[in-house]
Amino acid sequence: MKIHHIAISVKSLEESVNWYIKHFGFVETHRVKRLNKEIALLELNNTNLEIFQSEESFPAPDYEGDLSEDLKRVGVRHFGINVENLKEKVELFRANGTEIVSEIKPAFYDSFYCFIKDPDGILVELVGNVE
């Protein structure tokens, strides 16, 4: 068994699809409209990201963007993406105006991590080496 996909809801499907493709190399594999939702499925190295845009979407509570508060709430909190050179990737995000939520820190496993926010403020953990 393996995880089939991670699902996120966004304000703008096009903006989010383009952001994940540009910054991580995802490939869009499917797109469908059902009822009042448009859904895109992106794939990266056998991992799927399902992105929803609903006509009735509403913003997440403010605390969801605050890493220290958000991790206290029960539920799925973020997802992590492994990157080759974490320092380099963080600098690219910083130069592109992406909000950097935390500085690079050692992980409890053999790696380093940093949190950023996607265009909708969804927390994304970048995991990788710093050299």
State pLDDT tens for residues 116-130: 999 999 999 999 998
The string of pLDDT tens digits covering residues 1-12 is 888 899 999 999
Q: Are both 106 and 126 inside the same structural domain?
A: yes
CATH number for position 130? 3.10.180.10
Residue the block writes with tokens 């710093």: 130
pLDDT of the residue at 73? 76
The string of pLDDT tens digits covering residues 73-96 is 777 788 999 999 999 999 999 999
Q: Are both 126 and 66 inside the same structural domain?
A: yes
Last residue of a domain, one of 24, 43, 58: 58
Last residue of a domain, one of 42, 58, 74: 58
Q: Are both 3 and 45 inside the same structural domain?
A: yes
pLDDT of the residue at 35? 84
CA distances from 103 to 90, 98, 125 (A): 9, 13, 11
Kindly state the average pLDDT of the residues 84-113: 94
Whether pLDDT at 67 is above 80 = no
Last residue of a domain, one of 33, 58, 83: 58
CA distance 85 to 90: 9
Domain that holds residue 91: 60-131
How many domains in the chain?
A: 2
pTM: 0.89
pLDDT class of 24 with cuts at 50, 70, 90: very high
Provide the mean pLDDT of the chain: 91
CA distance 33 to 53: 10
